[in-house]
Chain A
Amino acid sequence: MTRVHDMGGRFGDGAVVPEPETEVFHADWHPRALAVTLACGSLGQWNIDTSRHARERLAPKDYAAFSYYEKWMAGLADMLVEKGVLTPEELASGHAMGTSPLAERKMTADAVAGVLARGGPADRPAQIAPSFAAGDAVRTRRHAENAFVDGGHTRLPAYAAGAQGRIVRLHGHHVLPDAAAHGLGDRPEPLYAVAFPASELWARPEHPRDEVVLDLWQSYLEPAR
């Protein structure tokens, strides 16, 4: 089943409202929410796919009602409790009961620049040979669903499920989010940019030559004729 975050193509969201380049954060607590999230990431208890999934599995009514950084905070609190970093009692009381054994991993101010500069590359040594080359016709899975975990994380949006497209390029071998989000290892696969004609995706495309390109893992794809 689709989740509320998978909103590509949805109707009814109204106008997009541009804003000036100088507006980076929209409330005082937003940069703090970003920084707390990044700092907790360095404790090494989860990966980027886990944290995306934590936001995506908020109840649909919460996902829709929460602001962007409220979703981040809710997802972070859930992960901290699930991984045993904090207890529900500590969250409820607003105070720690003792220090954490993970404290030695705390990101210090002088480490920040290095951590942000190093990032977290998602490419891995190849384990599976690429099945497709640029120009090949492919079809995506019929259902935008996780193959390992019912209702689990996947990066195939529902609007592009069961659609025929063509390979634009191979990006290399990347961690498979469907596995990594659920503690099933990296399981790297060839990752491709795949182009779909707008007419393949939408009943009323805006223009006959418009396209949408998605980055998709090999296991999301099968050959098409």
Chain B
Amino acid sequence: MRVRALETILTEKGLIDPAALDEIIDTYENRIGPRNGAHVVARAWSDPAFRTALLEDATAVVSELGYYGRQGEHMVAVENTDAVHNMVVCTLCSCYPWPLLGIPPGWYKSDAYRARAVREPRKVLADFGVTLPETTAVRVWDSTAEVRYLVIPQRPAGTEGMDEAALMDLVTRDSMIGTGLALNP
């Protein structure tokens, strides 16, 4: 396997530390993932002042929650409404907000998603079982720079009395990319 061979050479040359590799892997396998983003969304649903600040300057707001870092240096939050559904892609590579959502899923990096999301987002949404009303426009964000986008899905009906922790469970990873909707309670 090529990666094993590279790791061996680089370790022998004194350029990488296998323990550091373990630490990087543990970070993205166990510590940083879509529950961070779900926390932000649930807070935005629950706290109007937080929502306003998030839409104004997402980088500052998520940094305060500790969600700043590699591939999340410049964050913008975009909010789904009855009028607009936002969806995020990176047609040129695989740009994705790591501190909030972790490592991108396989389909996000696939040729099919990268090729189709900009031309036929509604057919892509159908692959995820999502159908939008004709009255909703789709806005696809192609991440061509170092700005990373977080979709704030619509808060489901019937969640009025729920607290932040309970709301978090309704926020799926796909709903924050825009290929899914938040779960119904």
Binding site for B on A (CB under 8 A): 5-19, 21, 23-26, 29, 31-36, 38-40, 43, 48, 52, 55-56, 64, 68-70, 73, 76-77, 80, 85-86, 90-91, 94-96, 98-100, 102-103, 106-109, 111-113, 115-123, 155-157, 159-160, 171-172, 174-175, 177, 191, 193, 195, 201-202, 206-207, 209-217
Contacts and interface: CB of A to CB of B under 8 A. Distances in A.
B70 to A, nearest CB: 4
B3 A206 contact: no
B22 interface: yes
A56 B20 CA distance: 27
Nearest to A64: B111
A109 B124 contact: no
Q: Which of A155, A191, A212 has the most CB of B within 10 A?
A: A212
Interface string B124-151: 1001100000100111111111110000
A9 B119 contact: yes
Contacts of A68: 94, 106, 109
Interface in B90-116: 91-94, 102-103, 105-107, 109-116
B79 interface: no
Q: Which of B122, B123, B137 has the most CB of A within 10 A?
A: B137
Given A99-B13, A107-B20, 10 more contacts: A13-B115, A21-B105, A36-B10, A52-B92, A112-B24, A115-B70, A160-B142, A207-B122, A214-B144, A216-B145
10 contacts: A7-B91, A15-B112, A35-B22, A112-B24, A155-B92, A159-B91, A159-B118, A159-B119, A171-B145, A213-B141
Given A7-B111, A68-B94, A210-B137, A109 B145 contact: no
Contact of B12 (A48, A64, A96): A96
Nearest to A191: B145
Contact of A23 (B106, B116, B174): B106
A18 B70 contact: no
A127 to B, nearest CB: 17
Contacts of B93: 5, 52, 55-56
A119 B142 CA distance: 21
B116 A32 contact: no
Contacts of B120: 206
B112 A13 contact: yes
A155 B5 CA distance: 32
B6 A36 contact: yes
B92 A36 contact: no
A118 B122 CA distance: 37
A76 B8 CA distance: 14
Nearest to B19: A109
Contacts of B1: 29
B144 A155 contact: yes
Nearest to B127: A16
B70 A116 contact: yes
Contacts of B138: 206-207, 210-211
B182 to A, nearest CB: 14
